[in-house]
Amino acid sequence: MRQTKHDLPEASRAKIVELLNARLSDAIDLQTQCKQAHWNVRGPSFIALHKLFDEVNGDVEEYVDSLAERAVQLGGVAEGTARTVAKRSTLGEYPSKASSGREHADALSSALAAFGKSARESIDKSTELRDADTTDLFTEISRGVDKWLWMVEAHLDST
């Protein structure tokens, strides 16, 4: 940990940085899954889903940056290389053969749901560590992911 005048105890900051880096790996993985869906979607809903997946990606890109910057603010290092993400991400593997809009909406909604769950778990952990700012960041991410989950899942409704 880097020396800083931040008032959170170093032991707490180290645990929070570890938590932030765990979610950073998930967020970077989610971002690549959004682009995988965006690039490869086919079918009658192509244009709507192509645009939707890119909008989701835009917000996820902001989550990535916010998580990384928070880790550095606390005296840590943001660990966001492709190799680190591949080792640490808790998200399921994206189905490389997905093609139809329904297949991509199903796969991306699963990734969004998993990421939202881990963000909510991180809210509790950062609260236990008495870091209201990181808790607020995870709450913001959770709220945003829930919105995107709702929008992507709407494409799975058959009614």
Q: 35 in the Ramachandran plot: left (φ > 0), alpha (ψ -120 to 50) or beta?
A: alpha
With residues binned 3-state (H G I as helix, E B as strand, rest as coil), the percentages for the chain, rounded to 5, are 75, 0, 25
Per-residue pLDDT reduced to its tens digit, 68-78: 999 999 999 99
Quick one: DSSP state of residue 154? Answer: G
Does the pLDDT of residue 158 top 70, yes or no?
no
Average pLDDT rounded to a whole number, residues 53-58: 98
Q: Is 9 left (phi over 0), alpha (psi -120 to 50) or beta?
A: beta
Would you call 1 helix, strand, or coil by DSSP?
Answer: coil
Could you give the domains of the chain?
Answer: 10-156 (1.20.1260.10)
Question: What distance in Å separates the CA atoms of residue 72 and residue 34, rounded to the nearest whole number?
Answer: 25
pTM of the model: 0.95
Q: How many other C-beta atoms can be found within 10 angstroms of the C-beta atom of residue 27?
A: 28
C-alpha of 51 from chain center: 19
Task: Please name the residue that has the structure tokens 């899942």.
Answer: 153
